[in-house]
Structure 1
Amino acid sequence: FRYAKDAMMKAKYWAYRDRKTRKRNFRMLWVQRLNAAVRAQGFTYSRFAEGLKASGIGLDRKILSDLAVTDEAAFKGIVDQVKSALEKKQNESKSKKAA
């Protein structure tokens, strides 16, 4: 009976730990997928994330990585919006420096 109890405690420990780890692993996977898809479009992931914020696109990493894998045309449209938002942001910063 004692060994069964110990096995159950250990199983609960591993289950708890892995529930936390699974979230981390999926987030890393989504970021890797996004990085690969965005680099194919001529960006880095960090610039893409900056452009997402500047353009006001509220999609999360999970949805974006799913779009990058399944619907390349929609993802390309998002990347184009991000490019225009980054260009607009860059032009605004240049005009502020000139003034």
Structure 2
Amino acid sequence: MRISFSVARRRSHKRLFREVKGSYGGRKNLLRLVKETVVRNRVFAYRDRRNRKREFRALWIIRIKAAAEMRGLSYSRFIYGLSLAEIKLNRKTLSEMAIHSPEVFDEVTTLVREGLKKAGQAV
């Protein structure tokens, strides 16, 4: 009895070819290169899902730093002052606040300054 895997094999190949659609040259139509491309794409996707989180945090820190320095505080003193003032806002929220509602960020900055003064830190 002859067993054929033609339907299943064609389905799996089509799935791989769909995944690399838009690639250049043989990477989109030669099975061996398609398999390599799929593996590489998945590795990059896995790695970059983590890198995206790092990049966003770095962006938020840069924005907060710029906003704090415009108000006469360094980033590190600002974050330290937040902890002294017991303000529990994450960096994403602070960044959005600095951009979209600077008057609220000013209020937070005054609270940070008060917290630093209470701790005996020079402002």
Offset of residue 55 of structure 1: 0.6
Residue of structure 1 in register with 2:61 after alignment: 31
Q: TM-score, normalised by structure 1?
A: 0.89
Which among 19, 34, 59 is matched to residue 49 of structure 2? 19
The count of residues paired between Structure 1 and Structure 2 equals 91
Alignment of 1:2-81 (within 5 A): 2-81=32-111
Larger Rg: 2
Tell me which amino acid in the other structure corresponds to 1:29. Answer: L
Q: Structure 2 CA distance, aligned partners of 1:16 and 1:29? A: 21
Offset of residue 4 of structure 1: 1.1
- Calculate percent identity across the aligned residue pairs: 38
Higher RCO structure (Cα 8 Å, ≥6 apart): 1
Q: Structure 1 CA distance, aligned partners of 2:91 and 2:52? A: 15
Q: Which runs of 4+ in 1 moved over 6 A?
A: none
Secondary structure of the 1:90 match is: coil
Residue of structure 1 in register with 2:119 after alignment: 89
Structure with more helix by fraction: 1
What root-mean-square deviation, in Å, do the aligned CA atoms of Structure 1 and Structure 2 show?
0.9
Q: TM-score, normalised by structure 2?
A: 0.72
